[in-house]
Amino acid sequence: MRSIKQPGAPLAERIQWVEARGRAFSFTLQAGVPLLEAARRGFAAEGFAGGVLNFRHGALGPFAYVMPALSKTGENAAFYSDTFRPGGVTRTRLGSMTLGTRDGAPFFHCHGLWTEADGKAGGGHMLPDETVVAEPFAVEAFGLDGAMFTAEPDPETNFKLFGPMAAASTGARTTSRAFALRLRPNQDFAFCLEEFCRAHGIARAKIHGGVGSTIGARFSHGSVTEPFATELAVTAALIAPRDSGALEAALDVALIDYTGGLAEGRLVRGDNPVLMTMELVLEALD
């Protein structure tokens, strides 16, 4: 399987996880409000301090983002591009967000694909402090009670990354057993989730959110993304038993690579290792 050498030594624990409770809900982001604050308000209205969300068609402006890029210093296996700030209103096609905390304040990690006002198709990593909701749009969220994604220095990748931490209950209404997960580098995305479910007695699970990166990508429809650095958003994902009874993860994703190439589809199981990180919430359906 493909692998990328990281600057730091790999930690023994390859899946960082916290068991919690949660609930799926939907809300509408308010226009004229920074995307981070609009998301925070939506979760807070349901009693949650954080969680994950997915969205389709939305409108952002002002808008700022970065793309994946090669590392100029060698201090990281890959890095970010300079900041892009397209004019006008950018129309999102899809996106996935993790809402948590960094340095004691709300923060998000959000990847998506979009079309800029001049018609240019793009994608990447949205910047929380420079992105504003231009028009109201709906999102599908999953709130967490008992866990929070918190950004901390990660010695393996030499980045400050979101990882799940145990958190005090907010008393929000919940409906499901949920696990906040962070997958560490150089392990297959699908196999990792399947093994986690087997280890925790989970017969069926739905993935909510899903923000991270893979080492290129191999899709079930035959398409291949060769450039190794990507920014990826999960668009739909289910882990369920097949006819044989064995658990299989069906992971539909969208990504942009560091050359600007866009790709969408279902990932091939066993051939899509994590590059830097993969954050998500796994909801047990059994």
Tell me, yes or no, whether 130 and 204 share the same domain: no
* pLDDT for 145: 98
Tell me, yes or no, whether 135 and 25 share the same domain: yes
Q: Looking at the domain assignment, is residue 32 inside a domain?
A: yes
Q: Looking at the domain assignment, is residue 2 inside a domain?
A: no
Q: Looking at the domain assignment, is residue 155 inside a domain?
A: no
Q: Looking at the domain assignment, is residue 228 inside a domain?
A: yes
Domain that holds residue 119: 21-143
Tell me which H or E stretch contains 42: helix 35-45
| Interatomic CA distance for residues 19 and 176, integer angstroms | 11
- Pull the structure tokens for residue 111: 């990847």
Q: Looking at the domain assignment, is residue 38 inside a domain?
A: yes
- Pull the structure tokens for residue 157: 């990748």
Tell me, yes or no, whether 98 and 185 share the same domain: no
Tell me, yes or no, whether 119 and 202 share the same domain: no
Cis? peptide before 128, omega within 30° of 0: no
Q: Looking at the domain assignment, is residue 204 inside a domain?
A: yes
| Interatomic CA distance for residues 67 and 80, integer angstroms | 6
Q: Give the N- to C-terminal CA distance of the chain in Å, as an integer.
A: 32
End position of a domain, from candidates 143, 164, 195: 143
Q: Looking at the domain assignment, is residue 13 inside a domain?
A: no
DSSP 221: T
Helix (H, G, I), strand (E, B) or coil at 143: strand
CATH number at residue 53: 3.30.1330.80
pLDDT in tens, the chain (286 residues): 899 999 999 999 999 999 999 999 999 999 999 999 999 999 999 999 999 999 999 999 999 999 999 999 999 999 999 999 999 999 999 999 999 999 999 999 999 999 999 999 999 999 999 999 999 999 999 999 999 999 999 999 999 999 999 999 999 999 999 999 999 999 999 999 999 999 999 999 999 999 999 999 999 999 999 999 999 999 999 999 998 889 999 999 999 999 999 999 999 999 999 999 999 999 999 8
**Domain count within the chain:** 2
CB atoms within 10 A of CB 201: 8
For residues 168 and 150, the answer to whether their CB atoms sit within 8 Å is no
* pLDDT for 278: 98
For residues 252 and 146, the answer to whether their CB atoms sit within 8 Å is no
Q: Looking at the domain assignment, is residue 98 inside a domain?
A: yes
Tell me, yes or no, whether 27 and 134 share the same domain: yes
Q: What does the longest C-alpha to C-alpha distance in the chain come to? A: 52
- Pull the structure tokens for residue 77: 């296996």
